Amino acid sequence: MKTIFRIKILLAILISLCYQPLLAQNKEIKGIVTSAEDGEPLIGATISVKGNEAQGVVTDIEGKYILQIPNSDCTLVVAYLGMRTQELKAPSSGILNISLEAESMSLDEVVVTGYGNFSKSSFTGSANTLRADMMKNVPVMTVEQKLQGMTTGVNITSSSGQPGANQSIRIRGMGSFNASQEPLFVIDGVPVTSGSLSTGGADAAYMNNSKTNIMSTLNPSDIENITVIKDAAAASLYGSRAANGVILITTKQGKAGRTQVSLNIAGGFSDAAVDFRPTLSGDQRYELLYEGLYNYALDKQMKSPSEYASQEIGKYAYVPELGYTDWRKELLRTAIHQNYEASVSGGNERTTFYASLGYNSQEGLARNSSLDRYSARLNMSQKVGKYGEVGANVMFTQMNQEMNEERGSSINPFLDVAMLMNPSMTVRDKEGNYIGAYPGTTFNPLRDILTDYNRTRMTRMFSTGYASIEPLKGLKLKETLSYDYTIQKDSRYFNPMSAAGPKSGSDAQTSKGFIEYGKLISSTSLNYVHTFNYKHHLDVLAAYEIESYQTDKASGERSRLPSNSNLVEPDNASVLNSFISSTQAYRMLSYLSRLNYDYDDRYYIAGSFRRDGSSRLSPKNRWGNFWSVSGMWHLSNEAFMKPIKRILSDVKIRASYGVNGNQPNSLYGYMGLYTYGQSYMGGFGSYESSLANPNLKWEKNYNLNIGLDLAFFSRIFLSVEYYNRDTKDLLYSLPISATTGFTNYLSNVGQLNNKGVEFELRTINFATPHFNWSTVLNLSHNSNKIISLNGQLEQSIEGTWFIHKVGLPYHTFYVKEFAGVDPQNGDALYYTNTLNKDGSYSREITNDISKAQAIPYKSVNPKISGGLTNILNYKQVDLSFTLTYSLGGYSFDKLGTYIENGTSNIYSSKYNLPAYAMDRWQKPGDQTNVPRFVYNQSASDNNSSRYIHSTDHLRLKNLTLGYTLPREWTRKVMVNKARFYFSGSNLLTWAKWNQYDPETPVNGEVFCEAPPMRTFSFGVQLTF
């Protein structure tokens, strides 16, 4: 018996000894996986050991899991569809609770409205939200450029590609004639000024040219997300400022936890995004001008055309002593840029903070253009007691901008390389001294752009402070006070020999000006949020706001400076040429309210009402009422949808209708004004400068939006929207008889309509521990149409090649229709387009342009535009890129009217010619659109469709490729994250017409503006 007992003891010891290694090799890890956004448990999340993902476990209905791991040194991989995959070190404690953040493609992202934040699934209006991770590392200076191709219904163009230049944004088309057509920008809940501030005017010629964009003062790296509001559901809360949509920007805030320090250093170079207006080489120009002279002699039946051409060609085309001049090389350059940004953020449960410093420097393509920006930001919030909170967001920026001329001036470097300067013109003599470009002149654009200057310094401080208290659960009282202060200083100098357009005589001219702008906003709001019986959700807001604006500006110009070129201050000049100054102010008071209600996350209704009173309108029309109603049926939350929810995971039907408005740009537009400062017979004088219109009232926008949102398998998200936008009582400078002493006056006339369809497809193509791939495809179609002008006028011819006509888009060309080139003799042909009795046009062809009639032709507006974005991550490698496209739009080449309009001016003005001039007709049977080239050929009309070109294009707008070093490497040097990246913008462009950039100015008229830059940037991001 004892023997048996001893054997059992021995066996137990042996089993115990054998089992100990097994226990040592297996360890249990358990915890809960939740969503970082709402803290809710995630069902079906996978937790596995890195390198052996097939043996993982999934979370249960409460988000809990238990995982056996082989040892304590392994790395765990946590993945969930639509969430960011995390890799975490196995904890020694055996407890690991995990919070996963949503992918940027998640359907339920946050919609920021400025008067409260909502989840995408509960928002009844039309909005698109872009998170910082979708916009990161795009090498641009302004936030507007980050939006291109990223959201539906938003079209962004620029009249200049210079760094920091002003941008034009249209959300769902243009909604006004003369009032603002730009959206309202809101930063951290406070409306701000966008666009340009300019001291320029008739008396301070060419100063600034409205090229400095005040939004360039905002450092894009400080942005957390951007929300674009397009319908009335949320925009009507902003009343008179939201007629053209709202762009809400939320800057980064600190988060409770360990303090994090980030450093971003980048640099690179830029060239033109397109081959800007390629021109003839010296030999090509010689060949073409010789041919023109030969053809002229041939038509005149001279005895020896070749002898005549050989005798005359030396007047127009020749090889200079030092060889042909490459003006592009002389005037343009490869631009260099560099960025340095540092930020620190963190906090605890009661205090959070985010602070950043930035320096950005970017050269322009022309030698005399650049932008330097110094920026700083501090965002803080502090809990006060149990129920209170205070906070402040402070931004300080200083920008120094140097601009090149872009108008019809001989110191416009882009006009020079495209037309004014030909290869036979010279820059320097043998000793390297600047000389006249051709005999008998001192004209030299390189000397002028290096000695003349046009500079702007903009300093901006934007500060917002708030305090809130929650005396009762769900009831919050909040006061926000904001002050936006900007001062812009402009300076301009022309050297004594400058051939600048606004300069006359031989004296140097110097100008200086400033504009000081201040805007104070006070907002007091009371917000109540409560849930009744777990199914009734109520959100009520009431607020009172005051907005006060002041601006002060002055500028002057003097001449007759000392010979010393360093003495360029206006005070050193002896003659005062001009001086202008003004002070303006306005105020607006507003009352607003909002109600949101939903039942059981299925039925949503919302309404808003705002009443604005503006000093820009007469007392009897001062107050305007703006409102909206909206609703949504969250169909997928109905019980009958449960059987198919695994396939059709989300369905929403939305609708909204509302009214918002626009006020006059002029602060005193309803008043009859007098202008003083005039001289009359040696005494002071004045004159009546504008007619009074006490009946001037608000311009109103009536906005309907219907939307459908679908989600399949929780990874394919489709959104389709239809909208109709009517603008009535348009603010318009109505032409009147000049016998009144005026040519127009500001009034409310006409109606404009925009309607269209938007389509967005978002997909999560792959979501695995090692590979993630998401895609966004968006498409927009907008139809713009004038409904009425003044009730009596059917059409108005605007300038030389535009028409405003009832039933047509606002930007419609009015030209004689080009019919190509006669293949037998090379003549330019045109359709007569005489109007028949039945309203049709006669399509006879003539080579006499005087017999052709101008007709409404193409429109600037594209039929379809949009973008395609892909975001990919594979282990430590990340790749993202955006393609933008536009189809069906047209532009007018204003420069073409100079260089294609007959040949007499080509010879007399010594212009260069476009490269496509070599495609001219030469012999019978040639098929081309470029007529025969003949010296002294009479000029044709400059309003021909020959100068209208398609803007169809596809562009690789942005691309970023990055590599993050493994953490086991970086931890050794106390770096939390180290990422190296390449980023580029406007890298490739495929355009139907490739002579200039297809992203033309908003009115479609193209001259010689600086093209956008193709930028290559290389950088490193470090997080400590």
Per-residue pLDDT at 102: 63
Region 646-652: mean pLDDT is 90
The helix (run of H) or strand (run of E) holding residue 99 is: strand 98-100
User: Cβ–Cβ contacts within 10 Å for residue 68, how many?
Assistant: 11
- Decide: pTM greater than 0.95: no
Instruction: Measure the CA–CA gap between 750 and 806, rounded to whole angstroms.
Output: 10
- Residue 77 contacts residue 45 (beta carbons within 8 Å): no
**Average pLDDT of the segment spanning 514-530:** 93
Report whether pLDDT(898) > 90. Answer: no
* Per-residue model confidence (pLDDT) at position 207: 64
Give, in order, the Cα–Cα distances in Å from 673 to each of 620, 666, 689, 692, 960: 19, 12, 6, 7, 54
* Exposure of 69 in the CB half-sphere (CA atoms within 13 A): 26
Residue 230 — φ and ψ, nearest 5°? -115, -20
Tokens of 976: 């939390």
Is the pLDDT higher at 363 or at 38? 363
Three-state DSSP string of 592-612: EEEEEEEECCCEEEEEEEEEE
355-362 LR contacts (CB < 8 Å, sep 24+): 355/379, 356/219, 356/221, 356/222, 356/252, 358/219, 358/221, 358/222, 360/141, 360/219, 361/337, 362/141, 362/163, 362/164, 362/270, 362/335, 362/337
* pLDDT of 23 higher than 60: no
- Over residues 807-828, the mean pLDDT reads 93
Residue 202 has a pLDDT of 41
pLDDT surpassing 50 at residue 15: no
| Residues β-bridged to residue 468 | 389, 478
pLDDT over threshold 90, residue 199: no
* pLDDT value of residue 20: 43
Residue 953 has a pLDDT of 95
Please give the angle made by the CA atoms of 959, 964 and 970, to the nearest 5 degrees.
155
d(CA 503, CA 497): 10
At 159-168, the pLDDT tens digits run: 788 888 888 8
Backbone torsions φ then ψ of 730, nearest 5 degrees: -60, 135
Query: Distance between CA 157 and CA 877 in Å, rounded?
Result: 33
CA angle 110, 115, 117 (to 5 degrees): 15
pLDDT at position 601: 87
HEC sequence for 327-389? HHHHHECCEEEEEEEEEEEEECCCEEEEEEEEEEEEECCECCCEEEEEEEEEEEEEEECCCEE
pLDDT higher than 80, residue 119: no
Element (H, E) at 162: none
Which residue, among 494, 495, 512, 501, has the nearest Cα to 576 in the 3D structure? Answer: 512
Lowest-pLDDT range of 462-471, 705-714, 729-738, 879-888:
729-738
255 in Cβ contact with 893 (< 8 Å): no
Per-residue burial over 613-622, b if 16 or more Cβ lie within 10 Å, else e, is ebbbbbeebb
Instruction: With CA atoms as reference, report the closest residue to 405 among 1012, 1014, 1007.
Output: 1007
What is the structure's pLDDT at 811?
92
pLDDT tens-digit readout, 435-480? 888 887 888 999 988 888 889 999 999 999 999 999 998 899 999 9
- pLDDT bracket for residue 791 (50, 70, 90): confident
Of 321, 302, 322, 324, nearest to 312 by C-alpha is 302
Q: Pick the residue with more confidence: 799 or 106?
A: 799
Question: pLDDT higher for 18 or 649?
Answer: 649
The more confident residue out of 443 and 589 is: 589
Quick one: the chain helix, strand, coil %, rounded to 5? 15, 50, 35
Token representation of residue 513: 């000006």
Q: What single letter denotes the amino acid at residue 687?
A: Y
Q: What pLDDT was estimated at residue 24? A: 43
The single residue listed with the structure tokens 């004892």 is: 2
Lowest mean pLDDT of 195-204, 560-569, 627-636, 666-675, name the range: 195-204
At residue 796, the pLDDT reads 81
Q: Report which of 315, 113, 41 is spatially closest to residue 936, judged by C-alpha positions.
A: 315
Tokens, residue 517: 């702008």
Q: Quickly state the pLDDT bin for 209 (edges 50, 70, 90).
A: low
Averaged confidence pLDDT in the chain: 86
Q: Please tell me which of 670-674, 813-817, 937-941 the model is most confident about, judged by mean pLDDT.
A: 813-817
Separation CA 60–CA 33 (nearest Å): 10
Question: Average pLDDT in the 205-216 region?
Answer: 72
Q: Give the per-residue pLDDT at 559.
A: 86
pLDDT at position 824 over 90: yes
Distance (Å, rounded) from C-alpha 758 to C-alpha 746?
34
Mean pLDDT of 377-399: 94
**Is 106's pLDDT higher than 70?**
no
CA 671 to chain centre: 35
Block residue for tokens 């450092």: 219
CB 695 within 8 A of CB 202: no
- What is the structure's pLDDT at 304? 92
pLDDT reported for residue 201 = 45
> Left, alpha or beta for 833 (phi > 0: left; psi -120 to 50: alpha)?
left
**Average pLDDT of 110-127?**
72
More confident residue, 57 or 268: 268
Closest CA to 215 of 552, 460, 516: 460
pLDDT tens sequence across 392-418: 999 999 999 998 888 888 889 999 999
- Work out the pLDDT band at 205, boundaries 50, 70, 90: very low
What average pLDDT does this structure show over 983-987? 92
pLDDT confidence of residue 112: 72
Q: In one letter, which amino acid is 671?
A: M
Distance from the first to the final alpha carbon of the chain: 69
Question: How would you class 1008 by CB atoms within 10 Å of its CB: exposed for 0-12, middle for 13-18, buried for 19 or more?
Answer: buried
Q: What is the pLDDT of residue 7?
A: 46
Give mean pLDDT, residues 642-661.
Answer: 90
762-779 average pLDDT score: 89
Three-state SS string over 534-577 comes to: CCEEEEEEEEEEEEEEEEEEEEEEEECCCCCCCCCCHHHCCEEE
The tokens for 173 are 């088309």
Instruction: Answer yes or no: is pLDDT of 238 > 80.
Output: yes
For the cut 50, the answer to whether the pLDDT of residue 203 exceeds it is: no
- The band of 138, judged by pLDDT with boundaries at 50, 70 and 90, is low
Percent of the chain with pLDDT over 70: 92
CA dist 35 and 322 (Å) reads 71
